[in-house]
């Protein structure tokens, strides 16, 4: 049972690789840094080189595969969102997804499923509205990126391949992403909510991201979009208070919105304008979260 993971060297990819390898899958990570990745992944996991934009060199791997899980794309938090950076964010995602569709088209025996990464940013900022997979797309930069990203691999459905989109929320992990940056001020007794604290955080523990994707690989009836978020979204204020309680630190020093905007520019919208997203379709499918509550998730991360 082969699973191919473009972008498998990233935060979510590493957790998914470990989840699938432990479950006995043959896992192949596609990477533009294949030599660097050798030895950095669990025993038995293969690394194959690719150019990030075509199926050249790995079509034979796609032939008869159980799944392709496309996580590839430039890190949105790697720098300020200049016009050039925005174009790179979008183009890296589209190129990778087109390559996946190309590999499926060329494969004699099609993969059973293509799982396409996306984000809850698809919905744009929506205030207190409860967001399910049926909610409409937003129209800000991140929403437009997600809409095009999802659409770019959708052609595989016309080839008879199950197509699943995972709209992932803010991933809680000590290994990367936003969480270590959010937690650092608390270590120095300087923690507090971001902005006015009323925006929603659609969070999820990294272990639940990996197990949810595996669940969607194995659920033959699953297709379409799934919100991959914990079933209990919280506001930024609730998040800060819970993190402070777990760390034994106060949460009384809010970070003003203007300061975040000065520090990171437009990218601050990720933390200042969230979505009250819920995993309606995952729950209906029968998926059980290991960490449905924020406090237990944070205690697991922080020991």
Over the stretch 237-294, which tens digit does the pLDDT of each residue have?
999 999 999 999 999 898 888 888 877 778 788 888 889 999 999 999 999 999 999 9
Residue 100 lies in a domain: yes
Quote the pTM value.
Answer: 0.95
Across 2-11, 54-63, 210-219, 255-264, least confident range: 255-264
Position 35 confidence tier, pLDDT thresholds 50, 70, 90: low
Residue 18 lies in a domain: yes
Over the stretch 131-144, which tens digit does the pLDDT of each residue have?
999 999 999 999 99
Most confident region among 24-33, 74-83, 105-114, 192-201 by mean pLDDT? 105-114
Q: What is the CATH number of the domain that holds 54?
A: 3.40.50.720
Among the listed residues 146, 268, 263, 300, the one whose alpha carbon sits nearest the alpha carbon of residue 199: 268
Tally of structural domains, the chain = 1
Residue 112 lies in a domain: yes
- Please tell me the distance from the alpha carbon of residue 53 to that of residue 96, in angstroms, as a whole number: 5
Residue 238 lies in a domain: no
Could you tell me the residue range of the domain that residue 139 belongs to? Answer: 2-171+203-230+276-290
Angle at 204 between CA 270 and CA 243, to 5 degrees: 80
Residue 249 lies in a domain: no
- pLDDT over 80 (residue 34): no
Residue 92 lies in a domain: yes
Residue 3 corresponds to which tokens in the numbers above?
A: 């699973």
Among the listed residues 111, 129, 114, 302, the one whose alpha carbon sits nearest the alpha carbon of residue 216: 114
Mean pLDDT over 172-197 rounds to 91
Residue 261 lies in a domain: no
Position 38 confidence tier, pLDDT thresholds 50, 70, 90: low
Angle at 5 between CA 164 and CA 183, to 5 degrees: 90
Residue 82 lies in a domain: yes
Helices (H), 162-287: 179-187, 206-218, 236-247, 257-264, 269-272, 280-285
Across 13-27, 78-92, 250-264, least confident range: 250-264
């Amino acid at each position: 049972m082969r699973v191919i993971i473009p972008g498998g060297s990233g935060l979510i990819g590493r957790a998914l690789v470990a989840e699938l390898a432990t479950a006995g899958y043959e896992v192949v990570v596609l990477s533009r840094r294949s030599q660097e990745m050798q030895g950095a992944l669990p025993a038995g996991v293969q690394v194959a080189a690719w150019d990030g934009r075509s199926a050249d060199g790995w079509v034979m791997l796609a032939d008869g595969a159980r799944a392709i899980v496309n996580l590839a794309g430039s890190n949105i938090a790697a720098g300020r969102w200049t016009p050039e950076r925005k174009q790179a964010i979008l183009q890296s995602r589209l190129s990778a997804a087109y390559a996946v569709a190309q590999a499926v088209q060329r494969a004699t025996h099609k993969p059973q499923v293509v799982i396409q990464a996306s984000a809850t940013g698809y919905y744009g900022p929506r205030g207190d509205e409860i967001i399910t997979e049926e909610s409409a797309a937003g129209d800000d930069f991140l929403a437009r990126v997600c809409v095009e990203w999802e659409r770019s691999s959708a052609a595989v459905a016309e080839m008879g391949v199950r197509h699943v989109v995972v709209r992932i929320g803010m991933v809680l992990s000590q290994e990367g992403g936003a969480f270590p940056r959010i937690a650092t001020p608390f270590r120095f007794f300087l923690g507090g909510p971001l902005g006015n604290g009323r925006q929603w955080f659609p969070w999820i523990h990294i272990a639940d991201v990996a197990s949810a994707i595996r669940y969607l690989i194995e659920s033959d009836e699953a297709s379409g979009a799934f919100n991959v978020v914990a079933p209990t979204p919280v506001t930024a204020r609730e998040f800060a208070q819970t993190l402070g309680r777990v760390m034994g630190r106060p949460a009384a020093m809010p970070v003003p919105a203007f300061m975040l905007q000065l520090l990171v520019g437009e990218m601050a919208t990720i933390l200042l304008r969230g979505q009250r997203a819920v995993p309606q379709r995952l729950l209906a499918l029968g998926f059980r979260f290991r960490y449905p509550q924020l406090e237990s998730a944070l205690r697991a991360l922080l020991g």
